[in-house]
Amino acid sequence: MKKYIKKVWKKVNNRGHERITFMVIPHGEATIVSIQLSKFTIYFALFITISVLFASVVSMQLQESIRPEVDQLNDSNRTYYYEREQYVDKFKELQKYQQKLKNKLNSLFEMANMSEADVDIFLDENILRKNAASDMQTESDQFSVHMIAMLNEYNKKKKAGNGSNENIKGVDSQLLQEFSQVYSQQKSFKYSSEVVSYRELYLDIKQTEYILSIFENFLEERDIVQKNLPYYWPLAGGHFTSFYGPRFSPFGYSSEFHLGVDMADRIGTPVYASAEGRVIHAVYDNSGYGRNVLIQHKFGYTTLYAHLNSVSVYAGQYVSKGQNIGTLGETGRATGPHLHFEVRIDGKHINPLPYLTSL
């Protein structure tokens, strides 16, 4: 067998080294060019040529077969690019709107005397940016620790021959591999600057919500105060005829201290409660007040409405600000139809005029 193989190989070798002469005979008297090539060289050249042609045909067929996938990927890439641009534009619009909202809140706080002029009630942008970066760094560190633990567990199971772990497969396995590559390069997981910017805006919105809640609480408390303080004109019309403090008595030439203000109008003019509260009494007495109503309000305030012609409330009744409690008259010690209005704090008389002129 060996002799036969050697004989065949010798025969092939001899024929392979046989030379074929190629001659180029030009016209005229130019020199004839002759080229001698062995059969091995010719066969090798033919093999290379055929291989190149075959590879070209195969590559063209592969290119044609994957062209739809490439086009689809290009379309997806363009779609993602346009979506990203839209998100970026929306993000910038949201930033502008957020800044307008902050400026408006600053103005409202200044108008409500809750802050001084030119004092920003919001955190500085640099502080927000540092807080956002710090939060994202903490989250990335936590994520890295979690992923490293999963990666170590995955490698242990893989070495033990249990690579098809039920809990780590598919997307999780791919995520671990990608994380392993990133971690091997930079030793930590980092969020991009765009993600940090989104977190910064998120923190800015959260503090705006907090400031809004403060302002909402202020308005609610202010509403409570407004309802329970006697800031309300207690008469449907009327004009002042006498003020709080020392005056000459309308019934003689002696001086006296007037404990309220008098507002004159026609008999029957509606009289209103200046704040919400509970009626202490609605009576006719002989002390000079005539028919009168006394209302207890919050914060120690009471108001008195005297010389009424009629009363439409009763003792113990809860009345709201602006509710009709009777009509103007001239009962009791009065020189003409008017409403005598008093404001008291913890039983002590105070000047009602600021409460009537601050409406």
88-101 pLDDT, tens digit each: 888 889 889 988 88
152, pLDDT greater than 80: no
Contacts of 225 (CB under 8 A, 6+ apart): 299
| Paired tokens of 72 | 């689809």
Distance CA 320, CA 299 (A): 16
Q: Which residue has the tokens 């959260």?
A: 206
117, pLDDT greater than 70: no
Sign of CA dihedral 165, 169, 175, 177: positive
- CATH fold of 239-357 reads Glucose Permease (Domain IIA) (2.70.70)
The pLDDT of residue 161 is: 65
249-289 pLDDT, tens digit each: 888 778 899 999 999 999 999 999 999 999 999 999 888 99
Distance CA 264, CA 336 (A): 8
Q: Detail the DSSP E strand segments found in the chain.
A: 19-24, 33-38, 239-242, 245-248, 255-258, 261-264, 270-272, 277-285, 290-296, 301-306, 308-311, 318-319, 324-328, 338-345, 348-350
pLDDT higher for 11 or 231? Answer: 231
* Paired strand residues for 327: 270, 310
| Paired tokens of 216 | 């909402």
| pTM for this model (two decimals) | 0.51
DSSP 8-state assignment for residue 235: B
Mean pLDDT of the chain: 83
**What are the residue boundaries of the structural domains of the chain, listed by start?**
1-93, 122-228, 239-357
* DSSP element (H, E) containing 90: helix 39-111
> Looking at residues 203-225, what average pLDDT do you find?
88
The pLDDT of residue 185 is: 55
- Compute the C-alpha angle 162/163/167, nearest 5°: 95
Q: Which region among 33-47, 123-137, 155-169, 259-273 has the lowest average model confidence (pLDDT)?
A: 155-169
For residue 83, the Cα-to-chain-centroid distance in whole angstroms is: 21
Helices (runs of H) and strands (runs of E) counted in the chain: 6, 15
Distance CA 129, CA 325 (A): 59
The pLDDT of residue 320 is: 94
The pLDDT of residue 77 is: 83
- Asked whether the beta carbons of 261 and 240 are under 8 A apart, the reply is yes
* Paired strand residues for 21: 36
Q: How far apart are the first and last CA of the chain?
A: 125
The pLDDT of residue 173 is: 62
